[in-house]
Structure 1
């Protein structure tokens, strides 16, 4: 399976995106957690009050993050196209550029603006496709672009060919690819016209805001984690504290009674999933980083973990998702979905037997792991201990899968070396 062309292209593309994900995630941590009044570090040290030109510095980090993490899908389209072309000995530069342009065409959304009596047509970009959540679509577009070049540009690349000849032979596949992209763009516009994405989003929000039983919270949490493994948005991946009516009701009760105990909604996405099921981001990936540091023998895994630990500590887990990679990797699907479920069950047990109160108070943005539950319960020490216990169990869950991943990787390298010797 790992030798299939699409799988090879997907894995290589994600590995090429790793440096951008690392640097962009670190910039995002500085922007959101350190240089913001509502961020975790900024809230503790009051950085915005004593650091000169903090707004300008923060804007630079925000811009850097936007031009790295926020355009990962665009880079994925280019890399996937180039890698596919390389597999079939086609023009990698033209294929990559065409795939990237096709992605941007598909992502365009026309918007009518009224300025006085005149109406102007403007083009915005669909933000849902641009960041890491659009990587799968970017890889698909790049791979399909490479296949179009393979079919309609059958003459192999010659080293002796001049640049113009190589570019000239790509006119037909470029025209076909961009033509298909325009058609797909029009289909997407029609889908948005009938508000199908808005209907799906409203359905998810209705599920996340109205279903507060323990069983339904566990199911929706597991479903959200599975969709996040595919880099798709789930019912719990698009809701903040202020958007959760149950969290607001719990907070109102706690402020009125001066206590987080006996709140009306004890088993919700806020009290269970966001507070205990996402240590280090969706999939509890902070535990994966720690597991790699403890048991991994591959130098590449340790290199990824060293770069990923800082942003992952603040819940920016893009580096670990792409560097191993975890996304679309069947080896890590089970722990990626299972750890949030285990965490929520343990937290629910502790809440039910009043070992700790439910998480009621909002935490600063990007608060690390167990500290989020500690702050959210008003500084309850047992909540901190439960969080540490959960983190330990998560590491133990991830350890055998890290070993299995290394074993599979080593076997793949041995087979590759054997194939090279045969040739």
Structure 2
């Protein structure tokens, strides 16, 4: 028992020293959490926008119901869905900027509603005025991060200087007094963003969103969204989970912008009559790395029910099955527990890495076409994968394959757990 305890203490100390600070930084930094909050608040728009595209294809396109002569009139009403898709997906960067500023302004004690409007104006100032509608989507996501944060930081700093505020008489209504109070800080903020846009275009003949996209966003997406980058994210996420920290949420600060850009790019490709090519989407996560919760824990649950000789393990697993089917693994992680359990750390990390790489090859080889419909968190498995991958039977086959591979990997460690329990009882 002492050797096991020493081993566990050493592993825990190592993770707390090297991995813990990553989670602490991402979970406490107000700028990173504001970006994460923005994507969380925007999730309903992404889901509705992606399903609008799917309905447009199945109902109003030449390959859907409109291809039949008796239903050809449906093609005239494609804008019912395409306008929803445009407003939700093709304006993604604008809404991200607004929501980041709202969240950050709230954290800084400013008026969040006004912060949201101010950041939107700053964002539009930096955008190509001749093609505003084409520069509000995924290609401007990173610009929206910078503008949402910098505009509010600058405005908040200026608002701290009492000397530049216009003071109104006490008889003036509070709303009007507040507007004049912030007039000079707002004017300075907008003027500085105007100078940045004007000087930059005057010297380079390029708009800032184009520069940010080419210099920062594309390289970042290529690195994080690569096979190696995603594998590293999976490993770090699982290690954090093992320490009792929600690894998926902690790593979302890095991974979510890449996935949102990917799903938006896939929607644009499908709308243009092309095949989607970006494989790292939320559907990929829900199918290959977080099936039945982080660590593909649904496979561990099945392995325990089949092979475990411990009644306590089986009782907890039976209670956890319905949440696991809906992708909620906390009952197993904290109840079994998997957290800080040295027996299960290896399969808990290894299973999603192996299954994630299987998913990568299935998607890049063309066996499964990448998703262009946002996956809905909390939906029962199989239904979730079937819808997210637009009704492809391959998604169901791969879901079963992931579960089977996970059961094979976890079974060895369930047997080790049996042997360990037998020794402890003796």
Q: What TM-score do the two structures reach when normalised by structure 2?
A: 0.48
Q: What TM-score do the two structures reach when normalised by structure 1?
A: 0.48
Q: Please state which structure has a larger fraction of its residues in helix.
A: 2
